[in-house]
Amino acid sequence: MTRYDQPYSPGGFQVMPPAIKAIIITNVIVFLFQNSVFGSALTTYGALWPIGSNNSAGYSFHLWQPITYLFLHGSFAHIFFNMFALWMFGVEIENYWGTRNFVSFYFTCGIGAALINLVATYGSPYPTIGASGAIFGVLLAFGMMFPDRYIYLYFLLPVKTKYFVAGYALIEFISGLGNRTMGSGSDIAHFAHLGGMLFGYIYIVIRRNEWTIKRMFRNVSLPKKSKGPVLWQGGGKDDDTSEAEIDRILDKISSRGYDSLTAEEKRKLLKAGKR
């Protein structure tokens, strides 16, 4: 069982968990500023401008824009549907993964969406704004966590989440190609949406498999000085973890989740599994 398969719900299920609440409030506040005397400056310097942008005003890309563009929206409908989708698909994810993991995932998807969009829009004179890239990553995560749950399109047609997400991704891909090949003036950043889903998928696969630098080199150790060649150094008293200790660790996982284990407990559990 991986951390993404466990019913992880810190403090019980929350209808409006902390990260989603903070993201929505921040977006609403920024949107209000956008519609004030500060609006023009916010959009000018916070939007994601393409690299090599060719525009008459001389606006250009800056390093902070892959984050700031996530909090800017073009209209009430734009921010309303983005925040509604974030709440609808993100609540269960944050409750299962915890706030810290959710925040990390959200901004990974958002920044990843920005990187893909920068590649797809190189030289364009138009900027990109909105949280859609990050939210498409959240949608993908929801589909991977609950693939057989039904979503009702237009409140009428039931579709399994896995087919809904796959269909949405296909539509975005075709629409993005259409914009590129036909020179469409669409103001929808299709490749940013796909970028959010791509980086969300990569993030989930890495976390599911615990692919970390430490783990990849966990079994590599330097040989101690000896008279003959040493091909592998292992063993020792740390390998002798008692069954009682393993039972205690498994009980802790059952009651509090895998994330509650210390690094040492995870190491002991891994060694016991190899034995």
Q: Round to the nearest angstrom and report the end-to-end CA distance of the chain.
A: 18
Q: From CA 151, how far away is CA 172, in angstroms rounded?
A: 19
272 burial (CB, 10 Å; 0-12 / 13-18 / 19+) is middle
d(CA 145, CA 132): 20
pTM, rounded to two decimals:
0.69
CB 69 within 8 A of CB 128: yes
Q: Are 196 and 110 in contact (CB under 8 A)?
A: yes
| DSSP 8-state symbol, 218 | T
Q: For residue 262, count CB atoms less than 10 angstroms from its CB and return exposed for 0-12, middle for 13-18, buried for 19 or more.
A: exposed
Would you give the distance in Å from CA 89 to the centre of its chain? 13
Each residue's pLDDT tens digit in the chain (275 positions)?
344 444 444 455 788 999 999 999 999 999 999 998 888 888 888 999 988 776 666 678 889 999 999 999 988 999 999 999 999 999 999 998 889 999 999 999 999 999 998 988 887 888 889 999 999 999 999 998 888 888 877 677 888 888 888 887 777 667 666 555 434 444 567 778 888 999 999 999 988 887 655 554 554 444 444 444 333 333 444 445 677 777 777 777 666 666 667 777 777 767 765 55
Q: What is the DSSP string of 94-148?
A: HHHH-HHHHHHHHHHHHHHHHHHHHHHTTT-S--B-SSHHHHHHHHHHHHHHSTT
Looking at residue 182, its pLDDT comes to: 39
Q: Is the distance from CB of 196 to CB of 137 less than 8 angstroms?
A: yes
Give dist(CA 45, CA 228) in Å, integer.
64
Helix residue spans in the chain (DSSP H): 18-34, 39-46, 65-68, 76-97, 99-120, 132-145, 161-182, 190-208, 213-216, 243-256, 263-274
Determine the pLDDT at residue 221: 44
Closest CA to 118 of 61, 169, 72: 61
**Quick check: 45 and 62 in contact, CB under 8 A?**
yes
